Structure 1
Amino acid sequence: MWYLITILVIVLDQITKYLAVKYLKGKSSFVIIEDFLQLYYVENYGAAFGILQNRKIFFIIVTSIVIISIVFFLCKNPYNLSKIMQIALSMLLGGSIGNLIDRIRLGYVVDFISIRIGKGYDFPVFNIADTFIVIGTFLIVIMVLLDRYEA
């Protein structure tokens, strides 16, 4: 089951990034909810929050190690992990692969979701893969802390 979720995350991520390039690149932001949610095309050459700019090879190597480790872990423990842990790992895996595809193909990651809190805080622009990476990581941490990761 985990590979289906992984594939779904990758497909959803790549389709939304394609649409962002097609409809947002070179244009002003598309406001969905005033002073809260907008779509805005950004080419991210770094990691989260724009850190470590222009470290393409570094990110490709680290992400590849993470991907191989997750796949190895899921294949080695298919019946020992709870369903939620399998889902969380597959979300993390799919998001990682989605961003890796961008880094290899484009040299940067396409980001397009922008959240603001009023006129004050402007959250860094992100994408669907980032969303699944964060949710998957959060679930993994919770499952490990509560000792609920085994079946």
Structure 2
Amino acid sequence: MFYWVALIVFAADQISKLFVRLLMNVGETHTVKQGVLQFIYLQNSGAAGSTFQGYGRWFGILAAIIVIGIIYYREVMLKSRPRVLDFGLGMLAAGAAGNGIERLVYGKVTDFIAFGSGRGSMNLADLAINIGVLIIIVYSLFFSKQWKQKHTVS
């Protein structure tokens, strides 16, 4: 499941960014619902929240290290792979890879989704990272002990 999730989310992220770059101008905004959802084409050469501007390629290298770390953890460190954890790791890896590739190639990422007003913008890779981290945290806090107790021999 990990590789399928990662592949599908990575492809959706890259295709959506390509469409935004082809169909919109930087700074152009399309409001879907006022105060709820806007599509606004921005380029971010820094980190989350537009911090550390100009260090995009360094964050691309960091993203590559993170993806390698996730794959290593999944393939070598995990003895068994619960589906929910595999899904969360796939989302996290896809998001890191999606933004990492863009940072390495262009030195910046394409952001185009803005929720609410004044909260900044993101892309599908950012959403995947947030969902993946949330799934991993919830699994770790609430389900990993139950799963281990159920699947280990005493």
TM-score normalized with structure 2 length: 0.88
Runs (4+) of structure 1 moved beyond 3 Å? none
The alignment yields a C-alpha RMSD, in angstroms, of: 1.7
Query: Any gaps of 5 or more consecutive residues in structure 2?
Result: none
Matched, 1:145 2:141: yes
Which structure has the highest helix share of the two?
A: 2
Deviations 1:10-38 (A, max 9, x none): 10000000111111224631111122111
Distance in 1, matches of 2:122 and 2:57, equals 21
Shift of 1:54: 1.1
In the TM superposition, 1:105-116 aligns within 5 A as 105-116=105-116
Q: TM-score, normalised by structure 1?
A: 0.89
Aligned to 2:38: 38
Q: Output the amino acid matched with 2:49.
A: F
Q: Deviations over 1:63-111 (max 9, x none)?
A: 1221111011121256512110000000000010000111111110000
Aligned partners of 2:99, 2:126: CA distance in 1, in Å? 8
2:111 aligned with 1:125, yes or no?
A: no
Where in structure 2 are the equivalents of 1:70-109 lying within 5 Å?
70-77=70-77, 80-109=80-109
The one-letter code of the counterpart of 1:100 is G
Amino acid at match of 2:62: V
**Partner Cα separation in structure 2 for residue 68 and residue 28 of structure 1:** 35
Contact 1:24-1:39 within 8 A present in 2 as well: no
Return 5+ residue gaps in structure 1 as ranges: none
- Over the matched positions of the two proteins, sequence identity in percent amounts to 28
Partner of 2:8: 8
Matched letter for residue 58 of structure 1: W
When Rg is computed on C-alpha atoms for both structures, the one with the higher figure is 2
One-letter identity of the residue aligned with 1:44: N
Q: Secondary structure at the match of 2:53?
A: coil
